[in-house]
Amino acid sequence: MTTDPGFLAGLRGLAREHADLLRPTALGLDADPSLGPALLGTDPRWLRLTGMPAAYNPDPLRVGGRPVYVDRCVEQVVVMEELARVDAAAVLALPGPSMSGFVVADIADEEQRDRYYQRLADRPTWTFFGMTEPAHGSDPASMETALRPADDGREGLLLNGTKRFVGNGARAGIGVVFARRHPGPLGVVAVLLDADRPGFTGIPLETLGLRGLQLSELRMSDVPVADEDVLGRHRPATRGGMWAAVRTFNRYRPVVASFALGVAQGAHDYVVANRRQLGSGDRDLLAALADRLAGTRATVMAAAESADHDPRDGTLASAAKIRATALAEESTLLALRMFGPGARWEHPLLDKWARDARAFEFMEGTSNVQRLTLAQGHLNGRLDDVRPAA
């Protein structure tokens, strides 16, 4: 079983070994995010195929001789935490399915799945997940991006709108865009879109943290869309675009939490390795931080197990993200303080990690949004039987 402690320990150890491959590129990618394809496109094949179905991944990671596709949330949080101890931005900037892969796995038909996954298997391919909009964030009720029939005699549909804060958007080759096709909450659909379609443009945005991810703005002006590009068209509307989006967020929030946890752990480890002389007060702070890291890790694991069991329930996922994102900021700022004035210049990795840590607050919903989900889960009794993960 993937939750077997021995298996997870082996997976964690293997991921930790591979994390060192990201170290040489960390500062270079932060300085110039456009170098992402050159720096990361040749990383181990298993890493860029993380989360791919077995049919498209003939050479997966192996733990104890057993193939591991890292397609379960429990496996993903273990691997991503270890990689994020070195460079979360580089992991997020890797080619592969990322968030759009969840949507394709949930609602695509066989032809759509093959079109998407085969492209990723054949060559390093970056993907995008277009949900957030400039004026309304990720609120589906206010979504302005629209998919409408052409009114000039052309066949098919036309996609118009703008998405913002899309990871890897400017370098991606294929991805998923959410758009309104009909009024009402069930009128939002997910479109599988190739980035070379006429009218589609990806523009990089300047950011302070997670720069390697190259957050982008996607602009779509009369982008031609065929009916076979609409994911879930063979399914009822209640199991279409927004259903898949909710399940994606609930499964990806524990992963975001694991990134934040990895950054927090990396900052702690950096202080332990490089700050040889500490006063008793600072030693106590580090010991308390180590305890909080262990507690947060248990919360993240519990959230991942819950997401694997029932992706409809995001209660624990929200709890994990709140706890891990706060800890990442506190840990990195504490590390900088312990190295004194000039720490950001003398320890550029710590400076980078501190900037990256702040970015997690805004990924997959801010902490206030997560608190609303957590409160709703509490009111509905979803936390009554929660037990801390081992």
Domains of the chain, first to last? 5-104 (1.10.540), 125-235 (2.40.110.10), 241-379 (1.20.140.10)
For 79, 125, 185, 192, 234, the CA distances from 128, given in Å and listed in that order, are 21, 10, 23, 10, 23
Q: Please tell me the predicted confidence (pLDDT) of residue 277.
A: 85
Residue segments in the chain with a per-residue pLDDT below the cut of 70:
1-2, 40-44, 385-390
Q: Please tell me the predicted confidence (pLDDT) of residue 1.
A: 42
Q: Please tell me the predicted confidence (pLDDT) of residue 188.
A: 96
For 27, 90, 302, the CA distances from 217, given in Å and listed in that order, are 24, 19, 34
Which amino acid makes up residue 163? K
Q: Please tell me the predicted confidence (pLDDT) of residue 40.
A: 63
Q: Give the pTM.
A: 0.94
Tens of pLDDT along 54-71?
999 988 999 988 999 999
Q: Please tell me the predicted confidence (pLDDT) of residue 298.
A: 97
SS3 readout for 108-122: CCHHHHHHHHHHHHH
Collect all residues with Cβ–Cβ distance below 8 Å to 256 and sequence separation of at least 6: 321, 324, 325, 360, 363, 364
Cα first-last separation, the chain: 15
Do 349 and 285 contact (CB within 8 A), yes or no? Answer: no
